[in-house]
C-alpha cells in the first residue's frame, strides 16, 4: 500500500512540475514577444525559475519514496 501511495505522490510531483514549467515557458515566450529587447533577461529568469521547480519536484519524489 505504501508503494502505491509513493507512486501517486511522485506522479503528482511530476505533473505539478510539468504544469509549472509549462506556465513559465508560455509566459516567457509571451513576454519576449512583447519586449524582444529584454529577451536575455527574461530567458535567464525563466531558466532559474525552471531549475527551482525541478529541484522542488525532485525533492518531492525523494520524500514520497523515502517517507514511507
Q: What is the pLDDT of residues 12-48, one digit of tens each?
A: 999 999 999 999 999 999 999 999 999 999 999 999 9
Q: What is the pTM of this model?
A: 0.82
Domain ranges of the chain: 2-66
Question: For 2-66, CATH number?
Answer: 1.20.20.10
- Which residues are CB-contacts of 7 (< 8 A; sequence separation ≥ 6)? 64
Taking the alpha carbons of 47, 49, 53, 59 in that order, is the dihedral positive or negative? Answer: positive
Among the listed residues 47, 60, 41, the one whose alpha carbon sits nearest the alpha carbon of residue 21: 47
- For cell 535567464, the residue is 44
Amino acid at each position: 500500500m505504501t508503494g502505491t501511495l509513493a507512486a501517486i505522490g511522485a506522479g503528482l510531483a511530476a505533473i505539478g512540475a510539468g504544469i509549472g514549467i509549462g506556465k513559465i515557458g508560455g509566459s516567457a515566450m509571451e513576454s519576449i514577444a512583447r519586449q524582444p529587447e529584454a529577451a536575455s533577461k527574461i530567458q535567464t529568469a525563466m531558466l532559474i525559475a525552471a531549475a527551482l521547480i525541478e529541484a522542488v519536484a525532485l525533492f518531492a519524489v525523494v520524500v514520497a519514496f523515502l517517507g514511507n
